A = this chain, B = another copy of it.
């Protein structure tokens, strides 16, 4: 079937505004380094006024993963809402220019296209301040059942739970995916996001998710424990496949039967960690939909993540496909 998709993602459609910032700026503004916080339009305007000059690049966690998958040569689609404003035009252009199926209609009223004010400190850490804007307008009407049916994997970002109207859309989409024998993948997104939606995320992971992405902090937050191994054991009981990233310590890939430790790529200079997790998911899902062994999926994820952190911005700049081919040997 020529019109099958490897992955279809649902996520917030966001344009990143990336600027360098000193640690003192984060401290003065009371920002928690490395975390994502939600802000309203007034705070977005206030903080933007204090930030240095920026560069605008299409972002959004699941959208970044889809961009990475497209760069790896996968057939992919994206569902997420912008407004019919200039930044909405930028988001739609950039994702379509990658060959991604993107047909969500822009909103003609309501809040502006979502923006994420990303502050990159000298250590390469990114601190994110997100105004969800038009992203929160996503509804069940935006889910094309036929498109969901065509995708081997439906990929959903946890951040969507911060846009409550989208939840029903996601529940519908998961049902359609499973009805057609497709897999559902989910990322916990952010430790504070897990805090806000723990009960629902636990329910999802237990009953509706086939492939889970998390980092160490998010997983510990999910199970409210400081004991990483204990959290892994709990996860192994409920999840078909999980990939838990640990920054420079690599990745743990686990199933109820297997556990693989995959090392991070060596020799990477960290410029900006924005998109590391997103691009890990790109690589992992690319391997998975190509029926590669799980440890190799983890490897491809680590290679893609290493590319993302070697430059400013979350989306790949190098030829990811060639990079993975060269590194895997």
Within the complex, which residue of B57, B85, B93, B313 is in contact with A86, where a contact is CB–CB below 8 Å? B85
How many copies the complex holds: the figure is 2
Q: Which of A277-292 contact B (CB under 8 A)?
A: none
Name A's interface SS: mixed
Contact B53 A93 (CB under 8 A): yes
> Most chain-B Cβ atoms within 10 A of its Cβ — which of A48, A49, A86, A90?
A86
A249 contacts the other chain (CB 8 A): no
Chain B residues with CB below 8 A from A54, complex form: 90, 93-94, 97
A67 contacts the other chain (CB 8 A): yes
Chain B residue, CB-CB nearest to A19: B97
Chain B residues with CB below 8 A from A138, complex form: none
A284 to chain B minimum Cβ distance, whole angstroms, is 22
Contact A93 B58 (CB under 8 A): no
Type the 1/0 row for A14-37, where 1 means its CB is closer than 8 Å to any CB of B. 000001000000000000000000
Complex Cα–Cα for A198 and B308 (A): 47
Chain B residue, CB-CB nearest to A100: B53
25 residue pairs bridging A and B, Cβ less than 8 Å apart: A19-B97, A48-B93, A49-B93, A51-B93, A51-B97, A52-B97, A52-B98, A53-B58, A53-B95, A53-B97, A53-B98, A53-B315, A54-B90, A54-B94, A54-B97, A55-B56, A55-B57, A55-B313, A56-B56, A56-B57, A56-B90, A85-B85, A85-B86, A86-B86, A86-B87
